[in-house]
Amino acid sequence: MEAETIVKDRPTSGPAIRDEDGALDSGFVDRVAQAIERRDGATLKELVAELHEADLGDVLQALEPDRRAELIRLMGADFDWVALTEVDETVRTEILDAIPNEQIAEFVRELDSDDAVGLIEELEEKDLGEVLAGLPFAERIALERSLDYPEDSAGRRMTNKFIAVPPFWTVGQTIDFMREDERLPDEFTELYVVDPRFQFLGFVPLDKLLRSKRPTKIEEIISEAKHTVQVTDDQEDVARVFERYNLLSVGVVDDSNRLVGVITIDDIVDVIEEEADEDIKRLAGVGDEEITDSFIYSVRSRFVWLLVNLATAVLASMVIGLFDATISQMVALAVLMPIVASMGGNAGTQTMTVAVRALATRDIETINPTRFITREGLVGLINGLLFASIIGVVAIIWFGSTELGIVIALAMVVNMLAAGLAGILIPLALDRAGADPAIASTVFVTTVTDVVGFFAFLGLAAWWFGIA
């Protein structure tokens, strides 16, 4: 009953910007657009000044391109620049191109280092230099150091705002320090313990600190840092550490084990979303395309893989051409052969999706690959037998030919087995070769299932019925 009361009495604030399904309300976006059109800064601030940065980012993306920079100008100091880290790269680039570098530098100073890096890392070299030149020396050096780390590395994701204390401090000293120092981060869950050379010794969870007596020394309640990451570690590997050990934050160290930053769970959620988004797009052959990109960019992005698909389709057609005499003498084959190829393609895609995801998460490394291959082969074989019996009966009833039912049933078994094996072996082979299996697996798997499906069905039919 207490929980219900808390939920019912919870105050709500800010305008209702989303509908019942959680989608951005078009009426709200229209009101924002109208305020921009009228240059009505007061109304605009009333509408969006209190929005969470994620919601403000969605509003920016929903606006027409020429109104996005105008919103920022009208908002002035009330605009939350963190919102630009929540929009597509295309939108962010367009907005930053329309804003003077001096203004960008002014607001970068107010951001945490990880948000600042995310905001300016895609700027042109000239613009980036002007923005950095407009920052105080210490902040400029810190950002330049972060930008020197490899793209998609822990060094790019970490923040340099964290609480570090020596092991000889008492709990009381530490609490007083956190109360009095205004430079500390607004939110944190752990304190990091370092020696005079800033060597990382361990951490103290905030709940453990608050439950300890004031005279207790930090070294008495320190927890060993079992899960640190290097500044050069790939962000996907860091996300895997968070996922595996259920972390809220993790210390980032350099080659000398000096604590240089911290990565928190909110940044890792973004990484997980980015990596999953990237894998899905690569499986479909659309590269890094975003919904805010122009149609010209989308055409260019998709053309290459569609061209590759055309080449593989021609290969499948050549296989069909080998049996043109067979097809001309038994028209039913032309009716049924797409079924075999389609079922094989879908089965191969299922296996390939599981395989690519297992490779991306490194789960396949904990399982014997031979066992995984055997499993997928058996899945393909069993599904092949099940669907062979179904399509065999359908063909017999449809065309009144038992022989034709047997032929398509056998072809279905062969292609489903081939699909299962191709769906796992091709991603594994690409991964071993150092290629990204998410990029090319779809094309190769589809080619295998089409070629094997057509060849098995038409070849078996030519042999069974003695058609030359």
137 and 168 share a domain?
no
| Bridge partner residues of 137 (DSSP) | none
3 state DSSP class of 254: coil
CATH number of the domain encompassing residue 178: 3.10.580.10
CA distances to 99, 175, 233, 244, 351 from 240, in Å: 37, 33, 11, 6, 23
Question: Residue 199 falls within a domain, yes or no?
Answer: yes
Q: Judge whether residue 244 has pLDDT over 90.
A: no
Taking alpha carbons only, the member of 203, 260, 258, 206 closest to residue 227 is 203
Question: Residue 426 falls within a domain, yes or no?
Answer: yes
Supply the DSSP string of 5-39, one letter for each residue.
Answer: HHHHH----S---B-TTSPBPHHHHHHHHHHHHTT
Tokens for 409?
A: 């049933």
Helical residues (DSSP H) of 322-330, grouped into ranges: 324-329
Instruction: Give all strands (DSSP E) within 143-222, no chain letters.
Output: 164-165, 190-194, 200-205
CB contact set of 17 (below 8 Å; sequence gap of 6+): 24, 25, 28, 51, 55, 59
pLDDT band of 181, cuts 50, 70, 90: confident
Kindly report the number of other CB atoms within 10 A of residue 25's CB atom.
15
pLDDT of residue 319: 87
pLDDT band of 81, cuts 50, 70, 90: confident
142 and 181 share a domain?
no
How far apart are alpha carbons 230 and 261 in whole angstroms?
10
CA distances to 181, 194, 237, 250, 382 from 200, in Å: 21, 5, 20, 11, 54
Domain-terminating residue out of 152, 173, 202: 152
pLDDT of residue 287: 65
Question: Residue 398 falls within a domain, yes or no?
Answer: yes
pLDDT, the chain, mean: 86
Question: Residue 3 falls within a domain, yes or no?
Answer: no
How far apart are alpha carbons 293 and 81 in whole angstroms?
22
119 and 148 share a domain?
yes
CATH number of the domain encompassing residue 88: 1.25.60.10
How far apart are alpha carbons 356 and 431 in whole angstroms?
9
Contact 115, 109 (CB under 8 A): no
383 and 433 share a domain?
yes
CATH number of the domain encompassing residue 406: 1.10.357.20
How many domains, in total, are found in the chain? 3
147 and 192 share a domain?
no
CB contact set of 417 (below 8 Å; sequence gap of 6+): 377, 380, 381, 384
Question: Residue 2 falls within a domain, yes or no?
Answer: no
pLDDT of residue 367: 66
302 and 439 share a domain?
yes
pLDDT of residue 234: 92
The pLDDT of 223-231, averaged and rounded, is: 88
Question: Residue 277 falls within a domain, yes or no?
Answer: no
199 and 146 share a domain?
no
Higher pLDDT, 4 or 120: 120
Question: Residue 302 falls within a domain, yes or no?
Answer: yes
CB contact set of 368 (below 8 Å; sequence gap of 6+): none
pLDDT in tens, 322-368: 888 888 878 888 889 899 999 998 998 889 888 887 887 777 766 67
pLDDT of residue 286: 67
pLDDT of residue 172: 95
224 and 97 share a domain?
no
CA distances to 8, 9, 35, 79 from 12, in Å: 10, 9, 24, 21
Tokens for 165?
A: 């204390």
Q: Judge whether residue 177 has pLDDT over 70.
A: yes
Taking alpha carbons only, the member of 218, 187, 189 closest to residue 202 is 218
3 state DSSP class of 53: helix
How far apart are alpha carbons 440 and 355 in whole angstroms?
13
Rg, C-alpha atoms of the chain:
30
pLDDT in tens, 114-168: 888 888 888 888 999 999 999 888 889 989 988 999 988 999 999 888 999 999 9
For 16, counting Cβ atoms within 10 Å of its Cβ (0-12 exposed, 13-18 middle, 19+ buried), the class is: exposed
The pLDDT of 72-89, averaged and rounded, is: 88
pLDDT of residue 284: 67
Q: Which domain holds residue 182?
A: 164-266
Domain-terminating residue out of 152, 173, 195: 152
223 and 246 share a domain?
yes
364 and 406 share a domain?
yes
For tokens 């911290």, name the residue. 262
Question: Residue 9 falls within a domain, yes or no?
Answer: no
148 and 172 share a domain?
no
pLDDT in tens, 284-319: 666 666 766 777 877 777 787 778 778 888 888 888
For tokens 């690569």, name the residue. 282
pLDDT band of 8, cuts 50, 70, 90: very low
N-terminal to C-terminal alpha carbon distance within the chain:
80
Kindly report the number of other CB atoms within 10 A of residue 283's CB atom.
19
Domain-terminating residue out of 152, 172, 190: 152
Predicted TM-score (pTM) of this structure? 0.68
109 and 40 share a domain?
yes
